[in-house]
Amino acid sequence: MKPDRRRFLAYSGAALTASQLVACGRSLEPTAGVPRSRFDEDSSAEEVLAGIDLSGKVAVVTGCSSGIGLETMRVLAAHGAYVVGSSRSIRRAEDACRGVVGVTSPVQLDLGDLDSVVACAETILAMRTPIDMLICNAGYLGGANDRRLINGVEKHFAINHLGHFVLVNRVLQRLFIAEQARIVMVSSRRAYTDAPERGILFDDLGFQHDYDDLPAYAHSKLANALFSLRLSELLRGTRITSNALHPGVIDTDIDRNANAVQRFGLKLVAALAGKTIPQGAATSCYVATAEALGATSGAFFEDCNAVTIGGEHHLYDRSMAARLMQVSEELTSDYLVEQKIPDKEDFKR
Ligand X SMILES: NC(=O)c1ccc[n+]([C@@H]2O[C@H](COP(=O)([O-])OP(=O)(O)OC[C@H]3O[C@@H](n4cnc5c(N)ncnc54)[C@H](OP(=O)(O)O)[C@@H]3O)[C@@H](O)[C@H]2O)c1
The verdict on 159 binding ligand X (CB under 6 A) reads yes
Q: What backbone torsions phi and psi does residue 181 show, to the nearest 5 degrees? A: -110, 155
Residue length of the chain: 349
Which one among 10, 75, 81, 111 touches ligand X, defined by CB under 6 A?
Answer: 111
The verdict on 253 binding ligand X (CB under 6 A) reads yes
Which of 11, 82, 192, 211 is an active site residue? Answer: 211
The verdict on 63 binding ligand X (CB under 6 A) reads yes
Which one among 195, 231, 249, 282 touches ligand X, defined by CB under 6 A?
Answer: 249
Apex CA 308: angle with CA 326 and CA 287, to 5°?
75
Q: Which of residues 15-54 bind ligand X (CB under 6 A)?
A: none
Which one among 45, 49, 68, 321 touches ligand X, defined by CB under 6 A?
Answer: 68
Where does this chain touch ligand X (CB under 6 A) — which range of 22-30, 144-152, 248-256, 290-298? 248-256
Task: Mark whether 211 is an active-site residue.
Answer: yes
Name the residue type at position 181: A
d(CA 107, CA 262): 32
| Residue closer to ligand X, measured from CB, 73 or 178 | 73
d(CA 90, CA 88): 6
Count helices and strands (H / E) in the chain.
Answer: 14, 11
- How far apart are CB 4 and ligand X at their closest, in Å? 26
Q: Which of residues 213-232 bind ligand X (CB under 6 A)?
A: none
The verdict on 92 binding ligand X (CB under 6 A) reads yes
The verdict on 247 binding ligand X (CB under 6 A) reads yes
- How far apart are CB 221 and ligand X at their closest, in Å? 6
Task: Provide the pairing of β-strand 133-136 with 181-186.
Answer: parallel
Q: What backbone torsions phi and psi does residue 18 show, to the nearest 5 degrees? A: -60, -40
d(CA 196, CA 23): 16
The verdict on 325 binding ligand X (CB under 6 A) reads no
d(CA 107, CA 327): 28
Q: Terminal CA-to-CA distance of the chain, rounded, Å?
A: 59
Instruction: Give the CA distances from residue 204 to residues 28, 96, 243, 258, in Å, rounded to whole numbers and listed in that order.
Output: 30, 37, 27, 25
Which one among 131, 171, 240, 254 touches ligand X, defined by CB under 6 A?
Answer: 254
- Residues recognised as catalytic: 211
Binding site for ligand X (CB under 6 A): 63-69, 87-89, 92, 109-112, 137-140, 159, 186, 188, 246-247, 249-250, 252-254
